[in-house]
Amino acid sequence: MTVRQTHDRWWAPWLFLAPALAVVVTFILFPFANTLALSATDATLLKPGRFIGADNFVRLWQDDRFRVAMTNSLLYVVCVVPIMVAAPLVLAALVNGTTRILSFLRTAYYLPVVMSSVIVGLIWTNLLDSRGLVNNVLQWAGAVDSPVLFLSDRWLTLFSAMLVTVWTGLGYYMVIYLAAMAGIDPALYDAAAVDGAGPIRQFLHVTAPGVRATSALIGLFSSVSAFRVFGEVYVLTGGTGGTGGQDITVTMLIQQEGTGLQAETGYAGAISVVMFVVLGLLLAGQLWFQNRRASR
């Protein structure tokens, strides 16, 4: 094949890229642009709507439900992300080994990851119900006189959902940490042991710094997941968003406004755009903080 022949086939790379590009354009770029356009209209499911400028965003600002949803989603990030970064690392350090019992524990901790979110939700709903196992045990032990309202009280419902998120996410991030820990030079542990460091000091001064980049990545991933939490809150509240809608999250609000025969797709689009911007800011903030820390 001559050089000229190769140049004649300028389209070859595009041909290879075409399937992936088609998917990206069809399922990401076009819908994104369409959502942006929708957010400036009063479109409903059955009517295309007309341009209304920033009216949807003004309405959002005055919407109590949006304020509640944004508060809940941000609170989810604040509470869940630190646990998601730290707890799987500790767990990974504890199960990092080659014995059979550790292999069994690794599998057991990973099990919730492969379970359907609906099954997970049903398990936890039954556990946390006012007549569920947890309340029965608490009452039997004399810790409480009346059932704890894990699924009715505003804050308890939200924290219960966070517990479910952490329970299902631990195994996944544990595996990522295990992979990262495999890349730490064993000589560092030997040197630390020679210097008299015990398991805790080895963890703090060898393992944790050795997986810092992975921690940053997990921080980003878990922030995105936590901010757009849906399944856990949806299942635990029976799809209602909790008593008085006080546990609704941003993604649930988009689902409620943007689906069904009476869907207000323009308004749901505006919420999606705000969610996109907040997520972008959240990620940019995290990256800036991590870069700043790394450059020190």
Partner 1 sequence: MKKPIGYVLPAVLAFALGGCGIGGGGGDDSSAPVTGKVTGEITFQTWNLKGGYADYFNGLVTAFQNANPGTTVKWIDQPPEGYQDKLSADAAAGSLPDVVDIGPEAAFTLANAGMLLDLSKTDPGAQSAYLPKAWDANKFASLGGGTYAYPWYLNTGPSFFNTALLQKCGVAKDPLPGTYDTLFAAGKTMAGKCKGDTTMVGRLPAIETFGTYGVRLMDPQGTKFTFNDAKGVELVNHYKELYQAGGMTEETLNKLQTGELDAFKAGRVGWLPGSSYTLKDLKATAPKVAATVAISPQITNDKPNMYIESLAVNAKSKNTATAVAFAKFATNKENQLAFCQKAAIFPSAAGALDDPYFTKDDGTPETKLRLESAKAVSDAIVYWPAAFSSKSGDHLREQIALAILGKKDVQAALDEAVKYADGNLPKK
Q: What whole-number distance in Å separates Cα of residue 261 and Cα of residue 207?
A: 53
Q: How many residues bind partner 1 (CB under 8 A)?
A: 68
Q: Is 276 in the site for partner 1 (CB under 8 A)?
A: yes
Which CB sits closer to partner 1, 93 or 236? 236
Q: What whole-number distance in Å separates Cα of residue 175 and Cα of residue 77?
A: 21
CA distances from 191 to 69, 89, 186 (A): 50, 21, 9
Interface with partner 1 (CB under 8 A), residue from 73, 160, 249, 265: 265
Q: Is the Cα dihedral 74, 75, 78, 79 positive or negative? A: negative
CA distances from 170 to 203, 211, 212 (A): 18, 16, 17
Interface with partner 1 (CB under 8 A), residue from 126, 244, 281, 285: 244
Q: Tell me which residue has tokens 């409480």.
A: 144
Which CB sits closer to partner 1, 5 or 146? 146
Interface with partner 1 (CB under 8 A), residue from 9, 47, 212, 293: 47
Q: What whole-number distance in Å separates Cα of residue 286 and Cα of residue 292?
A: 10
* Paired residues of 51 in beta bridges: 41
Q: Is 275 in the site for partner 1 (CB under 8 A)?
A: yes
Q: Is 259 in the site for partner 1 (CB under 8 A)?
A: yes
Residues of the shown chain interacting with partner 1 in the complex, contacts defined by CB under 8 A:
26-28, 30-32, 34-35, 38, 42-49, 80, 84, 113, 130-131, 146-147, 149, 151-153, 165, 168-169, 172-173, 220-222, 224-228, 230, 237-238, 240-246, 251, 254, 256-263, 265, 268-269, 272, 275-276, 279
